[in-house]
């Protein structure tokens, strides 16, 4: 009976006290969060506090396709963020984003210029769960977009994955044409090999690495053994056509 009482007590205590504490404990953004921007071989890290003192914060409102509701964010214009770091370097072809969980993604500067309504949010003013950014769930996992969430105010950009990276810790601006050249096939390789490489660098490299170049959400595909040495063609064909839903597939 004592146990029943304990549980009842716990229940009351938890709901009456903890939930009221929680509902008042709104987490304002951590001003010491940092963003590193690298331009070719030059690198600079700023805290959110430093960014706030140098940039105008805008309150942006739009329909968010993940939360499926109207959201308000405190955000910097992404072009303004780039300005602190001297803007896009001459000839830059890609903007790379590295996230805290190992997701690496890129955006072509061409796409960026076509839809320049891009923002770097640091606070979700509509967050209902007490976090700076409301967490969202996918396939049983919970994601926190903190500290920086790259957003497009135009939800039409959401049809392609990889375009709304969250939990960003680093942005890289590279002027080299093919940043993955180190793993590119040799110029005298067959057309098939080159086309496979293009598919890989357009679709898979954000999550998978080859010789440690690329993302690290999914397994490395060449070290210590190439994937084709331990998975047969049948498995690979089936997996690539219809992968088991992986946790970032439709969310960023």
Tokens of 185: 């096939």
The yes or no reply on residue 218 touching ligand HEC (CB under 6 A) is yes
As measured in angstroms, the least distance from the Cβ of 98 to ligand HEC is 14
As measured in angstroms, the least distance from the Cβ of 26 to ligand HEC is 31
Distances (CA, A) of 201 to 41, 207, 240: 22, 10, 14
Tokens of 173: 């601006």
Residue among 167 and 207 whose Cβ is closer to ligand HEC: 207
Cα 22 from Cα 130, distance rounded (Å):
7
As measured in angstroms, the least distance from the Cβ of 221 to ligand HEC is 7
Contacts of ligand HEC in 174-213 (CB under 6 A)? 203-204, 206-208
Classify 240 as helix, strand or coil: helix
As measured in angstroms, the least distance from the Cβ of 123 to ligand HEC is 26
Residue among 43 and 203 whose Cβ is closer to ligand HEC: 203
Contacts of ligand HEC in 228-247 (CB under 6 A)? 231, 236, 239-240, 243-244, 246
The yes or no reply on residue 139 touching ligand HEC (CB under 6 A) is no
Sheet holding 94-99, edge to edge: 42-47, 34-39, 168-174, 94-99, 104-108
As measured in angstroms, the least distance from the Cβ of 48 to ligand HEC is 27
Residue of 222, 134, 232 whose CA lies nearest to 182 = 222
Backbone angles phi, psi at 15, to 5 degrees: -70, -40
Residue among 59 and 250 whose Cβ is closer to ligand HEC: 250
Cα 124 from Cα 97, distance rounded (Å):
20
- Total site size for ligand HEC, rule CB under 6 A: 18
Contacts of ligand HEC in 35-54 (CB under 6 A)? none
Residue among 54 and 246 whose Cβ is closer to ligand HEC: 246
Cα 131 from Cα 164, distance rounded (Å):
19
The yes or no reply on residue 249 touching ligand HEC (CB under 6 A) is yes
Q: Give every CB contact of residue 48 below 8 A, 6+ residues apart in sequence.
A: 29, 30, 31, 32, 33, 34, 35, 122, 147
As measured in angstroms, the least distance from the Cβ of 200 to ligand HEC is 6
**C-beta of residue 108 within 8 angstroms of C-beta of residue 97:** no
Which residues bind to ligand HEC, rule: CB under 6 A? Answer: 203-204, 206-208, 217-219, 227, 231, 236, 239-240, 243-244, 246, 248-249
């Amino acid at each position: 009976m004592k146990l029943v009482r304990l549980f009842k007590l716990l229940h009351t205590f938890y709901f009456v006290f903890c939930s009221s504490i929680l509902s008042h404990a709104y987490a304002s953004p951590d001003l010491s969060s940092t963003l590193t921007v690298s331009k070719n071989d030059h690198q600079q890290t700023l805290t959110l506090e430093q960014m706030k003192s140098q940039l105008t914060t805008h309150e942006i409102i739009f329909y968010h396709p993940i939360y499926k509701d109207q959201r308000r964010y405190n955000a910097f214009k992404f072009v303004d963020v780039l300005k602190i770091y001297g803007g896009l370097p001459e000839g830059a072809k890609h903007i790379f984003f590295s996230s805290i969980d190992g997701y690496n993604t890129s955006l072509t500067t061409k796409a960026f210029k076509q839809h320049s309504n891009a923002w770097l949010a640091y606070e979700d003013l509509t967050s209902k769960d007490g976090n700076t950014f409301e967490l969202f769930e996918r396939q049983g996992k919970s994601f926190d977009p903190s500290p920086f969430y790259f957003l497009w105010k135009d939800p039409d950009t959401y049809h392609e994955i990889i375009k709304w990276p969250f939990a960003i810790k680093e942005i890289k601006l590279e002027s080299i044409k093919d940043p993955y050249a180190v793993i590119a096939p040799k110029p005298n390789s067959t057309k098939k090999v080159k086309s496979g490489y293009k598919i890989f660098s357009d679709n898979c490299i954000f999550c998978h690495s080859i010789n440690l170049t690329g993302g690290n959400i999914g397994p490395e595909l060449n070290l210590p053994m190439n994937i084709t040495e331990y998975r047969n063609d049948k498995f690979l064909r089936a997996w690539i056509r219809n992968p088991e839903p992986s946790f970032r597939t439709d969310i960023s």
